[in-house]
A and B are shown apart, each in its own frame.
Chain A
Amino acid sequence: MTHNIILDPTAASGAGLQRPWKSLDSLKGKVVAFIDNSKPNFNHLAQDLGELLVKHHGVARVIHHRKRAASVPALESVYADIQSQCDLVIAGSGD
């Protein structure tokens, strides 16, 4: 069998450095934010999860953000708010 040399059409990710997962020591007293992608039912799920996290897992406070639509990024102000006051963010889709 004869062979040919070609160039690979795929490209490496440009994401750069890996960001390792950093777990929390505990959920007690923490502030948790939700970013709801606005797909059907996710607002209900986020509401229920928030209540359960406070009631059964000691979470101090829950903040809810909702995107205008699933296919657009959250506003920069949402990221700034989460960075300034939250210990954990839960982002999700109700597909």
Chain B
Amino acid sequence: MKRGVPAITICSDQFVVLGRKQLKALGSEGHPIAVIPHPFGLRTRDEVRGIAEQCVADIARIAVDPKVGTLPGGKASSTPQRAARIEVPDDPDEFDQFCVERRWSDGLPLRPSTLDRVARMIAASGRAPGDIVAIVQPGFGTATVEAIAINAVMAGCKPEFMRTLIAAVEAFTDRRFNLQGIQATTNPATAMILVNGPVAREISVNGHLNCLGQGTWANATLGRALRLVMQNIGGTLPGEMDRATQGQPGKYTFCCAENEADNPWEPLHVERGFDKNDSTVTIIGAAGTQNMNSHAKDAADVLRVIADSICYPTNNDYHFGGEPWLLLGPEHAQILHREGLAKAEVKRRIWELSKLPAHRFAAKDLMRLRHTRGAELGTITDDTLIPISYQPDDIAVIVAGGPGTHSVYVPTFGHTRSVTRRIV
């Protein structure tokens, strides 16, 4: 443990790889792990007693064993190094195989990070290659401007995307985002990029038709570059420190702009205190997308069906008091605005309408809910109405997409808050 007290970690056998990698990243490689059988959470009380009998013997042994923590390797460096130059095959097929073997890829072909391409990317950032932008959890890799530029090249970014990408890395390493939790969780959580302000037009980030779909270079490669930063600098290889049970397609890329032109209210960055001429990037701990298709033509109907759509008992936003994101299609937004609803009123009414009776949660989930939200809600009985977030203003409302009767709910990881950074 960091504070000098010896620490033993207990984890189930399926998570030992994560435990070992995490200890190594923390400079505690070789610290002991006591292993219990997976899945542990489903065991009966008697089975837990039996596991404890076995586990206590392991703990008693390793607590007094001076050799258990012998370091197999040397010391990690606290000085960020410039990236190593590596000779790779010129042939594209052989290069792909080279990347696959090193696990650099997200599963798609990578563009070679040649010296000239990386130099152009760094030049476009306006910063020195060795500047440290952030430390990326859970591997605690050092994200220098150069390291970000290399992954940007590999993802297919254009140099003019670099400032937006750097702001995204700054945002997602803010403590409020909880990158550690999002990177190593079994949940399908990832970092969604939302772009506001003039930069969206300047680098052509799509916030209109099919803005969460394919076909736009900036949307595709900015999100992909951030994923490569998470994996190659943050150290989350699938099946190792990335423990996602299934994951989600948004882990390849998840990026769009707000459709400010068709937004009847103030755009997100203005709501958050930035000037309308500022350009910002907002990072969201997104667990997927859910289509909300409705031909409702009055505000009460739109609000009711949206509230019903986001209200289900396996939703992390309820379990932990989250920050649900509503990406309203322009047509739904216009219906609400036409009837005089301000954004704050939309949030308040959806918050009220989407309260979920506690008896709809699974018994184990209700037990957890009492632990995670008991301080906020007091005694939770079967009839208690559970709000999706601590307060109405925690619901985020933006406008995205083009013509059509669709809006999108982006449920979040729960233990996360979006972070907005100005692009400089």
Contact = CB atoms under 8 A, between A and B. Distances in A.
Contacts, number: 263
Interface string B125-147: 00000000001100111111011
A24 B52 CA distance: 21
Contacts of B86: 5-8
Interface in A1-52: 1-27, 33, 38-42, 44-45, 48-49, 52
Contacts of A26: 64
Given A14-B80, A19-B2, A23-B69, A95 B64 contact: no
A93 B235 CA distance: 21
A44 B47 CA distance: 10
Contacts of A60: none
Contact of A10 (B36, B42, B68, B104): B104
B10 A91 contact: yes
A27 B90 contact: no
Interface residues of A, number: 61
A72 B178 contact: yes
Given A3-B89, A41-B41, A57 B5 contact: no
Contacts of A40: 40-42, 364, 367-368
Given A21-B69, A69-B415, A89 B7 contact: yes
A69 B228 contact: no
A76 B384 CA distance: 31
Select the residue from B7, B49, B367, B415 with max chain A CB neighbours within 10 A: B7
A49 B364 CA distance: 22
Q: Which of B6, B112, B113 has the most CB of A within 10 A?
A: B6
Which A-B residue pairs are the 5 nearest by beta carbons?
Answer: A21-B69, A92-B10, A71-B181, A48-B52, A40-B41
